[in-house]
Amino acid sequence: MRQIVFRRTGPPSVLELEEVPDLTPGPGEVRIAVEAAGVNFADLMARMGVYPDAPPLPSVVGYEVAGTVDAVGHGVDPGRVGEPVVALTRFGGYATQ
């Protein structure tokens, strides 16, 4: 998968696109093929280093996504694959999964 990560805080130029292994959903989880991610004030504040609840660096922010369920973990109905979804995420929305 691809994600946008920053390893230091600062202007938009600190954002880097990188390839990482695909995610595997755990029990009770789904994986979303992200088709759109919001860019909001909290994302910008985290990138600039002034958001109090920002994850540690290196970081992938992104608090909301829309896409399609493309994999499910144990205990999740396999019929969910292919369903369109929106999700509020704590972090990690600037990614393809």
What six digits make up the tokens of 5? 């990560």
Instruction: Tell me how far apart the alpha carbons of residues 91 and 40 are, in angstroms, rounded to a whole number.
Output: 12
Distance of CA 61 to the CA centre of its chain: 7
Q: 51-97 pLDDT, tens per residue?
A: 999 989 999 999 999 999 999 999 999 999 999 999 999 899 999 99
Instruction: Tell me how far apart the alpha carbons of residues 73 and 88 are, in angstroms, rounded to a whole number.
Output: 19
DSSP 18: E
Please give the pLDDT value at position 58.
Answer: 98
Indicate the pTM of the whole model. 0.90
Please give the pLDDT value at position 90.
Answer: 86
Q: 23-48 pLDDT, tens per residue?
A: 999 999 999 999 999 999 999 999 99
Instruction: Tell me how far apart the alpha carbons of residues 70 and 57 are, in angstroms, rounded to a whole number.
Output: 28
User: Which residues sit opposite 6 in a β-bridge?
Assistant: 15, 59
Domains of the chain are 2-88 (3.90.180.10)
Question: Alpha carbon of 38 to those of 3, 27, 32, 55, 79: distances in Å?
Answer: 14, 26, 15, 17, 27
What six digits make up the tokens of 36? 């759109």
